[in-house]
């Protein structure tokens, strides 16, 4: 799915909330750039106002094992649903998450993120590596 071509893919619901589309696929290895894209994402609600947006993302995490046993990769699915996003988008994202996950292959870990602290690099690496990252 990421096929070594991309470091991450960010998915969003189309403006009519009827399908999941790729918003961006990138080979940028800078976690902070990726994190900012999630934090700054927006969604238009039915009344046309723009608010905080939910997203799905797939990120190819690479980390070194603490014991010096080399580098590992884990494809991680992130469901980004900020607490201050609208109720309707959050419900639609929550209900369509499983369908997207089923269509993706190679997912090793899933994370639910609701605020900026949930997507701090160190926090995620601890989760993804089950505490074994160095």
Nearest alpha-carbon partner for 65 in 108, 129, 121, 124: 129
Residue 10's pLDDT is what? Answer: 98
Cβ atoms of residues 62 and 73 within 8 Å: yes
Give me the CATH code for the 8-129 domain, please.
3.40.20.10
DSSP-H helix ranges across the chain? 31-39, 87-103, 121-128
Tens digits of residue pLDDT in 91-125: 999 999 999 999 999 999 999 999 999 999 998 99
The predicted-structure confidence for 50-98, as pLDDT tens digits, reads as follows 889 999 999 999 988 887 788 989 999 999 999 999 888 899 999 999 9
What is the phi/psi pair of residue 4, to 5°? 60, -5
pTM above 0.85, yes or no: yes
């Amino acid at each position: 799915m990421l096929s070594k071509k991309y470091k991450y893919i960010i998915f969003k619901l189309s403006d009519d909330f009827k399908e999941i589309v790729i918003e961006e696929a990138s080979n940028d290895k800078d976690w902070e750039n990726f994190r900012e894209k999630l934090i700054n994402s927006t969604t238009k609600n039915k009344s046309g106002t723009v608010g905080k947006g939910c997203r799905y993302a797939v990120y190819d995490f690479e980390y070194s094992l603490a014991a010096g046993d080399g580098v590992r990769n884990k494809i991680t699915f992130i469901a980004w649903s900020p607490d201050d996003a609208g109720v309707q988008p959050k419900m639609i994202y929550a209900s369509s998450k499983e369908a997207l996950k089923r269509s993706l292959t190679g997912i090793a870990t899933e994370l639910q993120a609701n605020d900026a602290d949930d997507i701090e690099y160190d926090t995620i690496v601890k989760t993804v590596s089950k505490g074994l990252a160095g």
